[in-house]
């Protein structure tokens, strides 16, 4: 079908002062994006900073949340007005973040625009987001996002084509002005990539045996991927995928795969006659939660176990060049890397920091404590990939999830680990708390709290080993002489106030001490964390919103 009507309009506009991208792009309330010119200003800032894009191919899709379809039509008309040659769009506007990275890389595209606020709630009163991924398939680096922000603060006009809307539900090619729009199968390219990584034949034999699994797509983007891969391709029963239809409001749920928000899956795995394996993914498909029968695997342990068992997966059978973790993620993977004799890199939070390491073949597996793991197959974390990784391990080892984890602890020791989130705290209160901690840093070394003595404390700064760029003020680290840690940082993924995250970690080598309840094992550190930061006094909160 050819759309005949086209006329490039140059629209006068004025800047918004709040379009600074965070670690995962620009996230705001839907109503903010619905303001006249708000989305258009930021999209024009992307085109002006990520170029030259004229005549090139970009990828476009999102997680299906409210305003996704409307935003796609605006972006397509702006792309045509800005001279872009081709836009590949996921059918129905659906394209997970990992799948977008895959498509960018497979077709050597100039980049891609992802419409998602990830694990944030959706719906008309929820959140929306937009981010740009570069030609390597990964999130735009800071120099690019800084350029976007600079342009957004001085923008005076944007370009848009007067044209009919594109039919994004029909696979095939359409023309918008002189630009080609190609509506693609949302799953096919990504599934093909995964089949090249894992032993699908072996996994299918597992899923068609008496082994049972459940996958919670949380009414978000991974529903179509779960149905296609787990049920149709690998032969799992048709009820394997829970909440498998993407909905604009995620069914009223919060698409964050943790023990609190994936409560229906947790009830199944911790209930009577529980399946052998459970997993969930988030709004845009890049996060994962792994469960065994009546057993939760922390994301930090998951990364360490993947690293220790990587050679069981065909794509990693020759070993790993290295691994990387975000600074707040537990040090469990460090111990595995040491035993394997491979480097382990510690980066700030944000998947973009792993990109340079993977491009330079310094790290093959990467992970964050916020339920994100991935590898150098793409340049994003990848929820479905992580689930398949675990299924591949389970199919080879023929042991339960709990047995695999406990054997890992016996060999490497257990890192008791937890994250306490204080959500939607007034931003100025959070900043005051962080400054209170910074003011103490010079005097903390040697300070004792019962059996704990502080060895060092700092505000984490990272120098990229590939390009030499420096990222400062990435979180307060308090490290004790026994290796235990407390980390404080503010999250950049929320849209209301600020989220204070406190990470607590205690290492236990003695396997006779591996059965304590996590919060109990971390009890002393929890009290120290509050004493150092005076959390209740400075935030007016007496308990975390979420504990994971």
pLDDT in tens, 288-301: 999 999 999 999 99
Q: Indicate the CATH number of 414-547 among 3.30.420.40, 3.40.50.1010, 3.30.310.50, 3.40.50.1000.
A: 3.30.310.50
Q: For 396-442, how does the pLDDT look when each residue is reduced to its tens digit (9 = 90+)?
A: 999 999 999 999 999 999 999 999 999 889 989 999 999 999 999 99
The pLDDT of residue 243 is: 98
Decide: 465 and 354 in contact? Cβ < 8 Å: no
∠ CA 248-253-258, nearest 5°, is 125
The pLDDT of residue 142 is: 84
d(CA 359, CA 464): 13
Share of the chain above pLDDT 90, in %: 90
The pLDDT of residue 4 is: 53
Residue 536 or 382, more confident? 382
Q: Specify the CATH number of the domain 190-412.
A: 3.40.120.10
- What is the CATH superfamily name and number for domain 2-186? Alpha-D-Glucose-1,6-Bisphosphate, subunit A, domain 3 (3.40.120.10)
The DSSP line for 57-93 is EEEEEE---TTHHHHHHHHHHHHHHTTB-EEEEEEEE
DSSP state at residue 378: S
The pLDDT of residue 351 is: 87
The pLDDT of residue 540 is: 87
The pLDDT of residue 5 is: 53
The pLDDT of residue 3 is: 44
The pLDDT of residue 22 is: 82
Look at residues 332, 72, 250, 37 and name the one whose alpha carbon lies nearest to residue 158: 37
Instruction: Assess whether pLDDT exceeds 60 at residue 46.
Output: yes
> Cβ atoms within 10 A of the Cβ of 83, count?
18
Q: For 482-526, how does the pLDDT look when each residue is reduced to its tens digit (9 = 90+)?
A: 999 999 999 855 556 789 999 999 999 999 999 999 999 999 999
The pLDDT of residue 1 is: 46
The pLDDT of residue 390 is: 98
DSSP H or E run through 351: none
101 catalytically annotated = no
User: In this structure, is the dihedral angle defined by the CA atoms of residues 257, 260, 262 and 265, taken in order, positive or negative?
Assistant: positive
Instruction: Assess whether pLDDT exceeds 80 at residue 23.
Output: no
Q: For 250-298, how does the pLDDT look when each residue is reduced to its tens digit (9 = 90+)?
A: 999 999 999 989 999 999 999 999 999 999 999 999 999 999 999 999 9
3-state secondary structure 188-213: HHHHHHHHCCCCHHHHHHHHCCCCCE
Same fold yes or no, 2-186 and 190-412: yes
Q: For 192-227, how does the pLDDT look when each residue is reduced to its tens digit (9 = 90+)?
A: 999 999 999 999 999 999 999 999 999 999 999 999
The pTM of this model reads 0.93
Active-site option among 118, 300, 375, 506:
118
| Domain chopping of the chain, boundaries | 2-186, 190-412, 414-547
The pLDDT of residue 116 is: 96
The pLDDT of residue 352 is: 84
């Amino acid at each position: 079908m050819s759309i005949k009507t086209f006329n490039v309009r140059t629209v006068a506009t004025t800047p918004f002062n709040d379009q600074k991208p965070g670690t995962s792009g620009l996230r705001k309330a839907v109503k903010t994006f619905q303001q006249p010119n708000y989305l258009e200003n930021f999209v024009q800032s992307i085109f002006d900073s990520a170029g030259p894009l004229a005549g090139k191919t970009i990828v476009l899709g999102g997680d299906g949340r409210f305003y996704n379809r409307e935003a796609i039509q605006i972006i397509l008309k702006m792309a045509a007005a800005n001279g872009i040659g081709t836009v590949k769009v996921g059918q129905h506007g659906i394209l997970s973040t990992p799948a977008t990275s895959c498509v960018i890389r497979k077709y050597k595209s100039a980049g891609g625009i992802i419409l998602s606020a990830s694990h944030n709630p959706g719906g008309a009163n929820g959140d929306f987001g937009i981010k740009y991924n570069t030609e390597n398939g990964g999130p735009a680096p800071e120099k690019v996002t800084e350029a976007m922000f600079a342009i957004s603060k001085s923008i005076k006009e944007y370009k848009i084509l007067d044209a009919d809307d594109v039919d994004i539900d029909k696979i095939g090619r359409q023309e918008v002005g002189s630009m080609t729009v190609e509506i693609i199968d949302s799953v096919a390219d990504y599934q093909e990539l995964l089949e090249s990584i894992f032993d699908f034949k072996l996994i299918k034999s597992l899923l068609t045996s008496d082994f049972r699994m459940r996958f919670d797509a949380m009414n978000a983007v991974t529903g179509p991927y779960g149905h296609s891969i787990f049920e149709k391709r690998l032969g799992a029963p048709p009820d394997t995928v829970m909440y498998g239809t993407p909905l604009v409001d995620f069914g009223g749920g919060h698409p964050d795969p943790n023990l609190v928000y994936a409560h229906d899956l947790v009830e199944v795995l911790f209930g009577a006659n529980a399946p052998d394996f459970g997993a969930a993914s988030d709004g845009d498909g890049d996060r994962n939660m792994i469960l065994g029968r009546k057993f939760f695997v922390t994301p930090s342990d998951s990364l360490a176990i993947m690293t220790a068992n990587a050679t069981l997966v065909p794509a990693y059978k020759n070993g790993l060049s290295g691994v990387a973790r975000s600074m707040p993620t537990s040090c469990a993977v460090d111990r595995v890397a040491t035993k394997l004799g491979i480097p382990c890199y510690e980066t700030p939070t944000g998947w973009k920091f792993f990109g340079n390491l993977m491009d330079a073949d310094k790290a093959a597996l990467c992970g964050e404590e916020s339920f994100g793991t991935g590898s150098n197959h793409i340049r994003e974390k990848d929820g479905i990939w992580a689930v398949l990784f675990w299924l591949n391990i389970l199919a080879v080892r023929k042991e339960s999830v709990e047995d695999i984890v406990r054997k890992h602890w016996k060999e490497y020791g257990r890192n008791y680990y937890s994250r306490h989130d204080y959500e939607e705290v007034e931003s100025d209160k959070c900043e005051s708390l962080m400054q209170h901690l910074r003011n103490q840093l010079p005097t903390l070394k040697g300070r004792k709290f019962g059996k704990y003595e502080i060895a060092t404390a700092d505000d984490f700064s990272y120098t990229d080993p590939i390009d030499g760029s420096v990222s400062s003020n990435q979180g307060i680290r308090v490290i004790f002489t026994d290796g235990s840690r407390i980390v404080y940082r503010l999250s950049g993924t929320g849209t209301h106030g600020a989220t204070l995250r406190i990470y607590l970690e205690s290492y236990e080598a003695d396997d006779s001490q591996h059965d304590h309840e996590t919060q109990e094992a971390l009890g002393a550190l929890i009290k120290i964390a509050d004493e150092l930061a005076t959390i209740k006094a400075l935030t007016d909160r007496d308990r975390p919103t979420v504990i994971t």
